[in-house]
């Protein structure tokens, strides 16, 4: 079962976005996940990883993910 980790910048107050994305992920994948963790970070980070592989990075994309876009990226890795 897949583990998803959302690492977000706490000083930047990205926690609300992380919680929204976590809710959407749990609604879509529910019991198919081994776990979902929110990890506070710094320096403007907003990364979403599945089993240790980053599937979305704010740093690389220069924007936050749209919910449907994020779910599609996770869907590619979670059966």
pLDDT in tens, 21-71: 999 999 999 999 999 999 999 999 999 999 999 999 999 999 999 999 999
Q: At what angle do helices 15-29 and 67-75 cross, to 10 degrees?
A: 50
Sign of torsion, CA 21 24 27 29?
negative
Question: Which runs of consecutive H residues, i.e. helices, occur in 1-79?
Answer: 15-29, 58-61, 67-75
The answer to whether residues 10 and 42 touch, using CB atoms and an 8 Å cutoff, is: yes
CA distance 62 to 54: 15
Its domain, for residue 24, covers: 2-75
β-bridge partners, 57 = 47
Q: Is residue 79 very low, low, confident or very high in pLDDT (cuts 50, 70, 90)?
A: confident
CATH code of 12's domain: 3.40.30.10
**Structural domain tally of the chain?**
1
């Amino acid at each position: 079962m897949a583990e998803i980790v959302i690492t977000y910048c706490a000083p930047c107050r990205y926690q609300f976005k992380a919680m929204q994305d976590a809710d959407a992920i749990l609604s879509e994948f529910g019991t198919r996940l081994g776990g979902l963790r929110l990890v506070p970070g710094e320096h403007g980070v907003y990364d979403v990883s599945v089993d240790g592989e980053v599937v979305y990075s704010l740093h690389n994309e220069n924007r936050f993910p749209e919910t449907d876009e994020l779910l599609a990226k996770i869907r590619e890795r979670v059966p």
